Amino acid sequence: MAVDRKLLEILCCPVTRAPVERLPPAKLGAVNEAIREGNVKFADGSPVEAELAEALVTANGTTIYTVEDGIPIMLEDRAIAAIQFDGIQPSR
């Protein structure tokens, strides 16, 4: 289940207050490949173990938030720094 469009319009990063948008499929694929290789960690240092069906990224492209069953997990400790990946840039 995808994040509701109206909800997406009001969501923002809880740390920086930057707006968020859906992570495009090609970039999501790059993140999932890095997860499969064991190279992705949450902000709290724990490894990301499951591939992402959907994710949100801040408009400035620095932070990724997971989405589980259509629910964005907008917790600072569960954020993923986009610097861990090549080619993750904002779509704007």
Ranges of each domain in the chain? 5-84
Residues with Cβ within 8 Å of 88's Cβ and at least 6 positions away in sequence, in order, are: 23, 27, 30, 31, 57, 61, 64, 82
Q: Which two tokens stand for residue 83?
A: 């610097």
Is the pLDDT at 38 greater than 60, yes or no?
yes
pLDDT tens digit sequence for 72-90: 999 999 999 998 876 555 4
pLDDT of residue 68: 93
pLDDT of residue 92: 45
pLDDT of residue 87: 53
pTM, two decimals, is: 0.88
Average pLDDT over residues 41-48: 97
